[in-house]
Amino acid sequence: MATERIVVVDDEEANREFMQDLLLHEGYDVATAADGFAGLQLLERHPVHVLLSDLRMPGMNGVDLIRQAKELSPSTIGIIFTGYATIETAVDAIKAGAYDYINKPFRADEILVVLKRALEYQRLNRENVSLRKQLKSKYRFDNIVSDHNKMQAIFELVEKVSDSDSTVLIYGESGTGKELIARAIHYNSYRQDKPLIPINCGAIPEELLESELFGYEKGAFTGATASRTGRFELAHGGTLFLDEIGEMSPALQVKLLRVLQEREFERVGGTRTIKIDVRIIAATNKDLEMMVDNQQFREDLFYRLNVIPIMLPPLRERQSDIPLLTAYFIERFNAEKKRHIEGVAPEALERLYNYHWPGNVRELENVIERIAILKGEGMIAINDLPEKLCRTFSNGMVPNVDVPDEELDFDTVVQNFEKQLLTKALEKTQGVKSKAAELLHMNRTTLVEKVKKLRLEA
């Protein structure tokens, strides 16, 4: 049975009795009032879920009643019923905060449908408020696990820039937590109660990405049977997170640049200019400056995006975080999966610590989740780890390098070794990148990125 409290306000006694009998039969807690002033008194005494009010009443009409009721109790849903429905009255009611209006004479089924829809809308609003509070708590800076000096410096920077509207560009390999940082920025800003809308520019085909970003009008192209709101409109007042911005086509880069400059756009197939208030956070695992030099990314867009750059280090450069992250993931998956992992044996932790983690934090998270599910309880031992973590980095894979007395360019030596290693792996697999990645125990996307960065492709 329903337990929501409904207040019915109508100066006609017959209507009040009809509504009261109908709603009591449905299990609602119902109170009635003969005028707006009495209705407001009922709201002052007890919380009210829905206020059903006649439009024309002596002393205070329904629009004024709902306007004052919303000031008194913003969460209360207002519904107008009237025998004098016009476009003007409907507009006035909506402006006053009414959820809907019902025409007289009453139909019981119509009243119940509108009421149930209003209560569902109210429930979803409560859940959204609760979710936003949870998200804000989840993405507090102290919930991002790291005590490494590089990450601590990033947290300080993020805290400084969160409450500004400056565009942020987050650099980092796949799996380093770029979206986590973007969410931390949003949920610690004054926009936290507005939407954070993410879109992966590399996961959507070029011909669809424009309509995803800007929306489209009915008839804009074959299959556009109705208008659709794009991500920019959905993010109005909040933040748009453009992940993998380096994958965006040159044509779309031009359109994005215009939006960043003018803060307005048109839907695909539309002529109406839509103004927006959106903060942009972008992320990439590519070297955009190199792409600019190679004329693969617009220089003017790069400088628009690169206002506040944040460089996320890969996990191999913050090894001290591995024990912390491992303990965090164990605690999390114990709670989520109802498991009882007690910790990690020292020799197993050493393997975790010394592994190069091409998939970064996401790969470590996946490893711990897999072990938690399969093992269930006790200490994580070496034989619980994936095979690739149990192998030593030997078997002729470490180059024989002597450090000369004169200066040695470390980055050049490492890059040359990477080139040799990747070239040999690709030769051995006849150029099949997925097999080469498997041979090197590396994510295919990481291998592809390194091949492009080192310019190994013909």
Q: Has residue 396 got a pLDDT over 50?
A: no
Q: Is 20 exposed, middle or buried (0-12, 13-18, 19+ CB in 10 A)?
A: middle
Q: Has residue 71 got a pLDDT over 90?
A: no
Q: Which long-range contacts (CB under 8 A, 24 or more apart) does 335-342 make?
A: 337/369, 337/372, 337/373, 339/372, 339/373, 339/375, 339/376, 339/377, 340/376, 340/377, 340/378, 341/371, 341/372, 341/375, 341/376, 341/377, 341/378, 341/379, 341/380, 342/377, 342/378, 342/379
Higher pLDDT, 285 or 448: 285
Residues 206, 380: Cα–Cα separation, whole Å: 44
Helix then strand then coil, in percent of the chain rounded to 5, is 50, 15, 35
> What one-character DSSP code corresponds to residue 268?
B
Higher pLDDT, 262 or 125: 262
Position 395 scores a pLDDT of 45
Position 393 scores a pLDDT of 45
Higher pLDDT, 219 or 441: 219
Region 237-249: mean pLDDT is 94
Q: What is the mean pLDDT of the chain?
A: 84
Q: Has residue 33 got a pLDDT over 70?
A: yes
Region 20-29: mean pLDDT is 88
Position 139 scores a pLDDT of 47
Q: Is 221 exposed, middle or buried (0-12, 13-18, 19+ CB in 10 A)?
A: exposed
Q: Has residue 102 got a pLDDT over 60?
A: yes
Angle CA 445–450–456, to nearest 5: 120
Position 1 scores a pLDDT of 41
Q: Has residue 307 got a pLDDT over 60?
A: yes
Closest CA to 203 of 235, 174, 168: 174
Q: Has residue 142 got a pLDDT over 70?
A: no
Position 394 scores a pLDDT of 42
| CA 60, chain centre distance (Å) | 44
pLDDT digits (tens, 9 = 90+) for 159-177: 899 988 999 999 999 999 9
Pairing of strands 5-9, 29-33: parallel
Instruction: Please tell me the least confidently modeled range out of 24-38, 91-105, 106-120, 365-379.
Output: 91-105
Higher pLDDT, 352 or 130: 352
Q: How confident is the model at residue 145 (pLDDT cuts 50, 70, 90)?
A: confident
Region 325-337: mean pLDDT is 91
Position 335 scores a pLDDT of 92
Q: How confident is the model at residue 84 (pLDDT cuts 50, 70, 90)?
A: low
What share of the chain has pLDDT > 70, as a percent?
A: 88
The label of the residue with tokens 């960043």 reads 260
Residues 346, 440: Cα–Cα separation, whole Å: 26
Q: Has residue 442 got a pLDDT over 90?
A: no
Q: How confident is the model at residue 434 (pLDDT cuts 50, 70, 90)?
A: confident
Q: Is 34 helix (H, G, I), strand (E, B) or coil?
A: coil
H helix intervals, 26-168: 36-45, 62-72, 87-96, 108-138, 149-161
* Interacting residues of 179 by C-beta distance below 8 A, sequence separation 6+: 198, 241, 243, 283
Strand 239-243's sheet: what is its strand order? 196-200, 239-243, 279-284, 168-171, 308-311
pLDDT digits (tens, 9 = 90+) for 39-57: 888 888 888 888 888 888 8
Q: Has residue 402 got a pLDDT over 60?
A: no
Position 303 scores a pLDDT of 94
H helix intervals, 215-298: 231-234, 250-262, 288-293
What share of the chain has pLDDT > 90, as a percent?
A: 35
Position 94 scores a pLDDT of 67
How many CA atoms, within 13 angstroms, populate the side-chain half-sphere of residue 426?
A: 16
Q: Which domains does the chain have, with CATH numbers?
A: 5-133 (3.40.50.2300), 145-313 (3.40.50.300), 316-390 (1.10.8.60), 410-453 (1.10.10)
Q: How confident is the model at residue 132 (pLDDT cuts 50, 70, 90)?
A: low
